[in-house]
Amino acid sequence: MQGRDFKPFESFVWQLAHGRTLELGPRAVIMGILNVTPDSFSDGGRHAGQEAALAGARAMREEGAAIIDVGGESTRPGAEPVSAEEEQARVLPVIRALAAEPGMLVSVDTYRAETARLALAAGAHIVNDVWGLQKEPAIAAVIAAAGAGCVVMHTGRERERLPDPLADQFAFLDRSLAVAAAAGIDRRAIVLDPGFGFGKDWQENLQLLAGFERLHGFGQPLVCGTSRKRFLGHVTGREVGERDIATAATGAIARMRGVAIFRVHDVRASRDALAVADAVLAAGGQIGAAP
């Protein structure tokens, strides 16, 4: 672990594939979720066809998403796994089409090394690994070779966890960062996601949100992925499709705690909540004056 003096609102230039970069820190950045799957927990089937996926991506970009995160396998609890070939058939045509559009930044949501390699070759700029480079460690070498951006996520699935959810973050993500270092991934290419859900109960998710500042000890920008998660339903009593206001609320809370990137389904609601958070931060002198 390093970076105890990390300043989350100062500029961090995130290094991405194909010579691209993205500034993190001074303004909240939105990553729009594009699930090209029939069975994702919130929007399964909505973007399953290529034309629907492209239209959804363009709409999210117009609403304020800087990154489109394309996933071809549902990560909801109990979801049926798909083959690598099926995952690739779903995501690669969409990634290729999106990457051809001027200014578009594309992320691929995968833990498979071969899917990541093909997605980066198709034009993706970022690999978002929900297993934190630990399911298929060969993915780290793929990311390093491409000079790609990397979202390294914490998960509590399929392993023993420490009782303290924040202590478990450090135990797991320190291992992930060691895998990244061994493969030669530049620290300027890495952002960390504490993985809301993914083996955590509703109380642990709330403890994680309350203690976000501790994670700045890693010295890397952070991602908040609370969108429509089950713990928000526990708090609000809302069903999956009615949790966008709660998602925006958690995003604003996380932004005030220094989180850089927000992975969401509903870009518009989160954009407005994050704009308010950034304005408050600017008024308090934590970041430059809001535009």
Per the CB < 8 A criterion, the answer to whether 169 and 211 are in contact is: no
Per the CB < 8 A criterion, the answer to whether 145 and 155 are in contact is: no
Distance CA 188, CA 12 (A): 8
**Residue among 200, 243, 263, 271 flagged as catalytic:** 263
Place of tokens 């109960």: 201
**Is 7 labeled as catalytic in the residue annotation?**
no
Segments in the chain forming alpha helices (H): 50-63, 84-99, 113-121, 138-146, 165-183, 202-210, 230-236, 244-256, 267-283
**CB neighbour list of residue 133: distance below 8 Å, 6 or more residues apart:** 139, 140, 150, 152, 176, 179, 180, 183
User: Which bin fits 271, alpha (ψ -120 to 50), beta or left (φ > 0)?
Assistant: alpha
**Residue among 27, 200, 228, 229 flagged as catalytic:** 229
Per the CB < 8 A criterion, the answer to whether 149 and 169 are in contact is: no
Distance CA 46, CA 56 (A): 9
The encoded tokens of residue 19 equal 């010579």
**Is 268 labeled as catalytic in the residue annotation?**
no
Nearest to 137 by CA among 113, 118, 155: 113
First to last CA, the chain: 35
- Active-site annotation, residues: 229, 263
